[in-house]
Chains A and B, each alone.
Chain A
Amino acid sequence: MTYEDWFREDRLPHIYCVGCGNGTVINCTLSAVDQMGWNKEETVFVSGIGCSSRAPGYIVTDSLHTTHGRAIAFATGIKMANPDLKVIVFTGDGDLAAIGGNHFIHGCRRNIDLTVVCMNNMIYGMTGGQGSPTTPPGALSTTTPYGSREAAFDLCGLAAAAGANYVARYTSYHVTELTRAVRAGLESPGFSFIEALVQCPTNYGRRNKFRQVLDQIEYFKSHALLVQKANRMREEGKKIPDDMIIIGELARRNRPALGVRK
Chain B
Amino acid sequence: MRLVIDESRCKGCNLCTLVCPYRIFRPGTTANRRGVIVPELDRPERCANCRLQHLYGRRLCGVCQMICPDQAITWEEEGPCEPVKVAIEY
Contact = CB atoms under 8 A, between A and B. Distances in A.
- Do A and B share a complex? yes
Interface residues of B, number: 21
Nearest to B12: A18
- Chain B contact residues: over half helix, strand or loop, or mixed? loop
Interface stretch (B43-51, B64-72, B82-90): B64-72
A3 to B, nearest CB: 9
A12 interface: yes
Contacts of B15: 19, 24, 213-214, 217
A17 B12 CA distance: 10
Given A213-B13, A213-B15, A23 B68 contact: yes
Contacts of A21: 69
A61 B31 CA distance: 35
Interface of A: 2, 4, 7, 12-14, 16-24, 27-28, 31, 172-173, 175-176, 179, 201, 213-214, 217-218
B11 interface: yes
B30 interface: no
Given A19-B11, A214-B17, 12 more contacts: A17-B11, A18-B12, A19-B14, A19-B15, A23-B70, A27-B66, A27-B67, A27-B68, A27-B71, A172-B67, A175-B67, A213-B14
B32 interface: no
Contacts of B72: 13
B52 interface: no
Interface string B25-65: 00000000000000000000000000000000001000101
A242 to B, nearest CB: 26
B69 A16 contact: yes
A20 to B, nearest CB: 6
Contacts of B17: 214
